[in-house]
Amino acid sequence: MKVTGVVFDCDGVLADSDEAWHAVEVEFCARHGVDRSSLDIDTHGLSMVDSVALLMAGRPDVDASKVTPEFIDLAETLVPRRVRPLPGAREAVAGWQRIAPVAVASNSPRTVLTAVLDAIDVGGLLATSVAADEVSSPKPAPDVYLEACARLGVNPDEVLVFEDSVAGALAAFAAGCHVIQVEARGSAPIPGVLAMVGTRQMGPTLAMDQLALQ
């Protein structure tokens, strides 16, 4: 396939942030009288509002939209301190940057996304990045990927997206992009992806080799 642009998700693809986000959820829940360990939910890949709604599902007296700013404030403080780059992440971005313009499209708000990109030292390699609060709707809506393609000035059909969540993959598909799934937590293959790779296989040589084997 012809690749004129590459877009990465951030959390779980470039950033090892599971523990950081879990810490945010634990603290946020505690402030609202909820024991996070008692909740059998997975917020991975969800928007801030959707995550808060799940966390507060047992508190019908709490309006998720009104307390989401508090959740974001916690994330701004805790996530950048605890996040780490995933193995091969920076190398992958640098490798693709030599071939095509690279962007990041994330369900995080701008303040959190910028802090995380700086913390993992990839911000300077990107042509642009798109945060969820810069578009009308977060993933699984296609908005962040459509905006990334527009900013890069490329056709979505010639854009390769690296995603690890179902919500993110659905967003990329809806935008008309091609998706390579990045393995996360023993995740099952997402229907429609071109290939599944580890973070060390996201660079252009190994990724294109994987596509050639499909």
| 19-to-9, 81, 146, 152, 208 alpha-carbon distances in Å | 17, 11, 29, 32, 31
> Annotated catalytic residue: which of 11, 16, 143, 164?
11
Composition of the chain by helix, strand, coil, percent to 5? 50, 15, 35
| DSSP-derived secondary structure for 117-173 | HHHTT-GGG-SEEE-GGGSSS-TTSSHHHHHHHHHHT--GGGEEEEE-SHHHHHHHH
> Annotated catalytic residue: which of 9, 50, 143, 164?
9
Known catalytic residue: 9? yes
Known catalytic residue: 164? no
Q: In the 8-state DSSP scheme, what is residue 33? A: T
Q: In whole angstroms, what separates CA 99 from the centre of its chain?
A: 22
- Which are the catalytic amino acids? 9, 11
